[in-house]
Amino acid sequence: MNFDFHYYATYLAAIIAGYSHEESSEIAYSAQFVDCCTRTFLTSIKAPLSSATTQSQVELINARADLLGLQDITRIWSSFHFLPQDLYAEKKWCTRGYRNKYRLICGPNGDLLVETVKLAKGKSLESVGLAMHVLADTWAHRNFAGTPSLVINNTDYYFYEIFSGDTGEFEKKITFRHSTSTPDDLNRSIYTNSLFQTSENSIMNLGHGRAGHLPDYSFIKYKYLPAWGDFTEIVKDNPSDYYHAFCQMVYAMRYLRGNISSFDKDTYDFEIVSPYEAQIKEIINKRQIDSCADWKALGEKISGNIIDDFDVYRYKDEYLAARKEAKDNTVLGRFFVAALRQKSMVTNKIYKSGNMLAGFSADFAEKGFVGIKDFKKLVDAATSGGEKHD
């Protein structure tokens, strides 16, 4: 999903779920910060590099192309942006290598989503925001995998946009180009995607790069033939998916606040959101590249407060000024702990399923601290009873 949904729509969902303006703002910041927390940023403030939740284009271009490099990429993108839907999915007549990639395909309402939401229970607001980013992306990024793979993530010439007209639906063939400096042309259905590379493990074949920004546009409905689906036509209805994502975020955050006792799959707070349904769907269906202004206006109208513009450096000084022993209780410090916890959980689940695409993982609950020193923060947090929050 794009900035507009991760920041402004998440703020609105938090408000509807019952959080205060201040709490919702912190949740929204962390939800968007998932797309900003690169190793480059972490290096600039001397923060734990293992808490990276994304990679910049430069970092990806310079990423190692060997097994360890690919595992590092998979740990980040599968944990935070392409959460696997079913780590035990079956696929007949295929190699184990292909099946392992197939099992990393993202989708909503998987067991890992439940684990992600429950992992944030009783934790910081930063943990809530991070979980909402992951939840939202399971809807936008469904059918793609957070590991480089031509066979899983590639698209071909059969790609059509579906429009609704006075006499019903009609289709228009989508044209892809590779000019990253040219905006997508919504009027002519011309979109930018990653450059085709025949190498199975090229970073050009990571996630939905071959489908460009289409999965991140709320208004679009399209169909295509993914290779992993045996070239059976798949229709992706983003307006429906995005509304489900919004209502599921409200439901998840009501659970995290303690308003309800459980978080279950395929459950949505349609009734609570219903007073705002028409306004939300109008924004979701509006054909525009950037919906920030509309989401911001609606959020401010409902909350009665001004939503600050997102500033990636908003909490940088607080983190830098904090003493070493107090850094983990700053906004960024709590986010880093939440990121380490999420990455550890997902990587461990992938590893336990017999899939080595995200590398080796030790279970902290069973074996204690093993390996990268950054992750000792998780043991310290557990020993101290969790994060504090001012």
pLDDT tens digit string along 169-204?
A: 999 999 999 887 889 999 999 999 998 889 999 999
Span of 93-102, 148-157, 374-383 with lowest mean pLDDT? 374-383
Q: How many residues does the chain have?
A: 390
For 292, the 3-state DSSP assignment is helix
What H or E segment, with its residue span, contains residue 177?
A: strand 175-177
The residues pairing with 105 across neighbouring beta strands, listed in sequence order, are: 145
Taking the C-alpha atoms of residue 184 and residue 176, their distance in angstroms, rounded to an integer, is: 9
Contact 130, 30 (CB under 8 A): yes
Taking the C-alpha atoms of residue 368 and residue 370, their distance in angstroms, rounded to an integer, is: 6
pLDDT tens-digit series, residues 5-18? 999 999 999 999 99
DSSP state of 4: I
pLDDT tens-digit series, residues 49-60? 999 999 999 999
Between the CA of residue 268 and those of 7, 244, 276, 365, what are the distances in Å? 20, 7, 14, 31
The residues pairing with 191 across neighbouring beta strands, listed in sequence order, are: 176
Q: Provide the pLDDT for residue 228.
A: 84
What H or E segment, with its residue span, contains residue 236?
A: strand 234-237
Helix axes 111-119, 238-257, angle to 10 degrees: 40
Taking the C-alpha atoms of residue 309 and residue 91, their distance in angstroms, rounded to an integer, is: 46
Q: If we measure between CA atoms, which residue out of 189, 188, 137 comes closest to residue 159?
A: 189
| pLDDT value at 65 more than 70 | yes
| pLDDT value at 387 more than 70 | no
In the chain, what is the straight-line distance between the N-terminal and C-terminal CA atoms, in Å? 30
- Record the pTM: 0.93
| pLDDT value at 356 more than 60 | yes
Task: Please state the φ and ψ torsions of residue 170, each to the nearest 5 degrees.
Answer: -140, 160
Taking the C-alpha atoms of residue 127 and residue 338, their distance in angstroms, rounded to an integer, is: 5
The one-letter amino acid at 255? Y
DSSP state of 184: P
| pLDDT value at 155 more than 90 | no
Span of 71-75, 120-124, 269-273, 372-376 with lowest mean pLDDT? 372-376
DSSP state of 8: I
- What is the overall mean pLDDT for the chain? 92
pLDDT tens-digit series, residues 132-147? 999 999 999 999 999 9
Other beta carbons within 10 angstroms of residue 259's beta carbon come to: 13
Helix count and strand count (H, E) for the chain: 18, 6
| CA-based max dimension of the chain | 65
